[in-house]
Structure 1
């Protein structure tokens, strides 16, 4: 607890949020929530908690993306027609249309972050698009955990299960809203808004 109330807390937040990308058992949410609890009434800064959590999350996501991208060549060469290749093709069809939103939603699902970032790397998802959506995902997650800590206080820091359940609910709501938006956008007529009629 003394460490989390010192300037070293920011480095701890970055490292834990980074490590969580490859080892989902690392309690990144608990660390950020605890730091936010202390920042609300202590020497640490709430904006810096958000910033360092987002930076650590983005670094970890890009590391996971790089691992997926690096190992995909080996996987493709060894299993070009097998189950792994078929799984990647199915994932590719999903991520082609929903890759960015899947990255945001997966941020709130335990273990989902690792699976999606590895898959996007393995499928050679464009790095620029990945970075843009990941900035949204990491920032929203960092802000969410910080608000939970500031509002919920030490109770959620000691027992993070309600925060995890709330995060999963948030993920479902985001996914539902994104799907509704996608369906509406897909059905919207293309071209100019006012139809023209032929002269008699």
Structure 2
């Protein structure tokens, strides 16, 4: 525990945060939310700086999303060709493509809060030729709001358990998990209520 507290008070923690938040944009197995929430917890006791956590997380997410967008722009056709018809990944990409056509930038903002969904959204956005100027505008909103939300979630847990940071981390992650479950539950209900939806 003391080693962790020592690390979060060094500048290296921001290098790690930027790298992980960036990687998560195009390599979705990297748990960037976990790190941002954890640093938010420790920020409640003074180190690291909460505004810096928000800023670095947002910059990393923004850069990673643009890497994913460029991958989609250059290799989108080859990526889609490898996805098996009817597979979960193919359904996700097809759904994101339809949503982009209907709602545009709103999809980019919402998808940033869905692990795995953000990569599907940014890759598909690039592959479908969505204008880079609009992508950059909406992605900036998505990255900043995500960084602020995740940091404050951790900060709330850290403030509640200032004497026990690990409990604060558990609370912050629990809140994030609950919000994700609620989001997915509401989405599933809305899909079920659509005309023609299977019963």
- TM-score calculated relative to the size of structure 1: 0.73
Choose which of 169, 174, 188 in structure 2 pairs with 1:157.
169
Match of 2:28 in 1: 24
Are 2:51 and 1:38 equivalent residues in the alignment? Answer: no
Q: Which runs of 5+ in 2 are unaligned?
A: 159-164, 188-199
What's the C-alpha RMSD, in Å, of the aligned pairs?
A: 2.8
- Matched with 1:50 is 54
Q: Distance in 2 between matches of 1:105 and 1:33?
A: 19
Kept in 2: contact 1:71–1:122 (CA 8 A): yes
Whether the aligned pair in 2 keeps the contact of 1:103 and 1:133 (CA below 8 Å) is yes
Assess if the C-alpha contact under 8 Å between 2:57 and 2:147 holds in 1: yes
**1:67-102 deviations in Å (ceiling 9; x for gaps):** 1111025468x79xx969x97777544312312111
1:69 and 1:115 mapped to 2: Cα distance? Answer: 13
Max Rg structure: 1
- The verdict on how the C-alpha distance between 1:34 and 1:91 changes in structure 2, with shifts beyond 3 A counting, is closer
Aligned residues: 170
**Counterpart in the other structure of 2:8:** 4
Distance in 1 of aligned mates of 2:39 and 2:141: 21
In structure 2, which of residues 120, 126, 132 is the aligned counterpart of residue 121 of structure 1?
A: 126
Rounded Cα–Cα distance in structure 1 between residues aligned with 2:31 and 2:168:
13
2:114 match: 109
Where does the alignment leave 5 or more consecutive residues of structure 1 unmatched? 176-200
Query: What is the correspondence of 1:140-179 to structure 2 with a 5 Å cutoff?
Result: 140-153=145-158, 154=165, 155-158=167-170, 160-167=173-180, 169=182
Shift of 1:50: 0.4
User: Secondary structure at the residue paired with 1:41?
Assistant: coil
What TM-score comes out, normalization by structure 2 length? 0.74
Query: 1:135 is matched with which residue: 128, 134, 140?
Result: 140
CA drift of 1:42 comes to: 2.6
